[in-house]
Chains A and B, each alone.
Chain A
Amino acid sequence: MSSYSWFSVLEETLWSAKEFVDSGGLFRLRAFANALYETLLDDTPRGAGARQYKGHSHAPDTTAGEFGGRPVARGTLQAAGALGQSWLSPAISVASTWIRADNNLGSARPGQMFYVPVSRGIVSTLPVTTPPYLEALIHLDFTAPAGSPSLDVRITNLSYGGASAACVVTAGAGSASGLFTITKIPAFQGWNRLNLEVRSNLSGVGGSLTVDLLDLVILERPSVSVPASAGSASLGG
């Protein structure tokens, strides 16, 4: 007994209209179905003695040896926080300069603040303007010494370069508190080294700015972390 797995060309001209189906076309169809079975399930079709194709793995770049399929966002990449207490308190005394959010620690963290594992197939294009990219939610409190300066928060990628869009928090009444979204964080499959940075516009305002960072979650989200599909129709439903 023999069985073939082969992604043959299934072109319409194989069979002319009003003609009987011939064995050659069926031969191709059968091989094609077996190949689909192997690619979908990573298993050997019934009746086949061996397998040819690797199962799809939701990593599409075949030039990099990936097994095919649309990338899948896996969710949380890094959680951080101090249970409602101040997690990090960066000391900001210079205007318009990005600083690492852990600059107030007794000893700076070596290299980077975080390692996060980005899923296969998620590869940003720099500068990041469109998916795929990561997002982060950050809970913070800050109080302005006077006036209404704004605070910018961003995440930089040390492994591959680039930075997220600046998340702008404005202290309308002298202070601001809440949950904010950092978007367009550059992401590249594999381990990524990231830094959380803050910056303030202190122009015309004396003294330093008090900022308390409470919690941070870095995420792959289905809506922004996988590339847009070139297909237009849904197969299922």
Chain B
Amino acid sequence: MPLILRGFGELTNNVIQIGKRGASAIAVRMFAAGNALYESLTGVPASGATRRDIRAHDHTPGNGIVIPRGSVYSFDVGEDLSASSAWSVAIAIADMGSYFAILDRSPNLKIFVTPGIDENTTAVSGSACTLEAKILVDVDLSGGGSSVDFRFYNRNTGTYSAAQNATALQWISFGDIPIEGGTWNDLDLQIQGNGGAGSAIARVSIFSFNLAETYGRSQPESNGNYLYNNPSAPRP
């Protein structure tokens, strides 16, 4: 069985002497680097090898660029907007003007966030990496009040999204839901009724809900400067 080397040693300029024949040691390094890249890319042993030495890349930190996985939590309640729906609640006079979780369970939802997407350690376009959400809400103001504010609270990080305001049946969008990467996150969807003294909100309902890791808000910035096909990338 031949010796199949796998490893990515330093491939620096000073090992190659200009105008000299190529040393076999350099070529052997290139063999090892090629085999290592093959195994990292494909996840199978290099050609001619019977076992794999290099861990395959999986798009987590240190093993490829972190990529968003899309929807992490979604539902749609259709026509079930009855008071028994877990995602439908009235806001009493005593609760107006302060936030509380829309569901009477703790936490409201648990989601698993891809390793490497983290509001405290990663960023995109100068802003922390977060999640996005699109939610169809219905605010019934027939009992009084003027509007309802919605926001997400992340129990892992102790931080909030910005608040989104609704006054009727409408879609609201979030682009800054805080997250901790690589673990289960405990989230609450909080609501706050707004209005004058003695008012109340007849009902707040959630029709449709989609919470997602997205390219625009969740994929960490790469430290590289050029795309692989960029002809202006620096060259020797």
> In angstroms, how far is the closest chain A Cβ from the Cβ of B155?
23
Decide yes or no whether A98 CB sits under 8 A from chain B.
Answer: no
B80 touches A62 (CB 8 A): no
Chain B residue at minimal CB-CB distance from A1: B12
Q: How many residues of A contact B (CB 8 A)?
A: 87
* Alpha-carbon gap, A136 to B235, bound state (A): 47
Per-position contact with A for B194-236: 1 when CB-CB < 8 Å, else 0? 0000000000000110101011100100111111110001111
B75 touches A79 (CB 8 A): yes
Given A41-B40, A46-B10, A104 and B227 contact (CB-CB distance below 8 Å): no
Decide yes or no whether A230 CB sits under 8 A from chain B.
Answer: no
Q: How many residues of B contact A (CB 8 A)?
A: 72
B74 touches A79 (CB 8 A): yes
Decide yes or no whether B121 CB sits under 8 A from chain A.
Answer: no
Give the residues from 1 to 49 in chain B that come closer than 8 angstroms, CB to CB, to chain A: 8-22, 26-27, 30, 33-34, 37-38, 40-44
> In angstroms, how far is the closest chain B Cβ from the Cβ of A102?
8
A1 touches B169 (CB 8 A): no
> In angstroms, how far is the closest chain B Cβ from the Cβ of A119?
6
A62 touches B229 (CB 8 A): yes
* Alpha-carbon gap, A102 to B81, bound state (A): 13
Please name all residues of chain A whose beta carbon is closer than 8 Å to the beta carbon of B225 when the two chains form the complex: 51-54
Decide yes or no whether A96 CB sits under 8 A from chain B.
Answer: no
* Alpha-carbon gap, A44 to B19, bound state (A): 28
Decide yes or no whether B171 CB sits under 8 A from chain A.
Answer: yes
Given A1-B14, A31-B235, A189-B215, A51 and B223 contact (CB-CB distance below 8 Å): yes
Decide yes or no whether B71 CB sits under 8 A from chain A.
Answer: yes
Decide yes or no whether B70 CB sits under 8 A from chain A.
Answer: yes
Per-position contact with B for A1-40: 1 when CB-CB < 8 Å, else 0? 1111011100000000000111101110111011111111
B227 touches A67 (CB 8 A): yes
* Alpha-carbon gap, A1 to B27, bound state (A): 19
* Alpha-carbon gap, A117 to B210, bound state (A): 8
Decide yes or no whether B78 CB sits under 8 A from chain A.
Answer: yes
B134 touches A33 (CB 8 A): no
Per-position contact with B for A41-68: 1 when CB-CB < 8 Å, else 0? 1111111100111111111001001111
B224 touches A51 (CB 8 A): yes
Give the residues from 109 to 130 in chain A that come closer than 8 angstroms, CB to CB, to chain B: 109-111, 113-120
A35 touches B228 (CB 8 A): yes
Chain B residue at minimal CB-CB distance from A65: B227
Contacts A52-B233, A191-B132 aside, 9 further interface pairs with beta carbons under 8 A come to A23-B21, A39-B228, A45-B11, A62-B227, A62-B228, A78-B71, A114-B210, A116-B71, A213-B78
A-B contact pairs, 25 of them (CB 8 A): A1-B13, A1-B14, A25-B22, A30-B15, A39-B228, A40-B64, A41-B62, A46-B11, A48-B12, A53-B228, A67-B227, A68-B227, A75-B70, A80-B76, A81-B76, A82-B78, A87-B76, A87-B78, A87-B79, A105-B79, A114-B76, A117-B70, A118-B70, A236-B41, A236-B44
In the A-B complex, list the 7 residue pairs whose CB atoms are closest, starting with the nearest. A236-B42, A47-B10, A80-B76, A55-B65, A115-B134, A21-B22, A54-B224
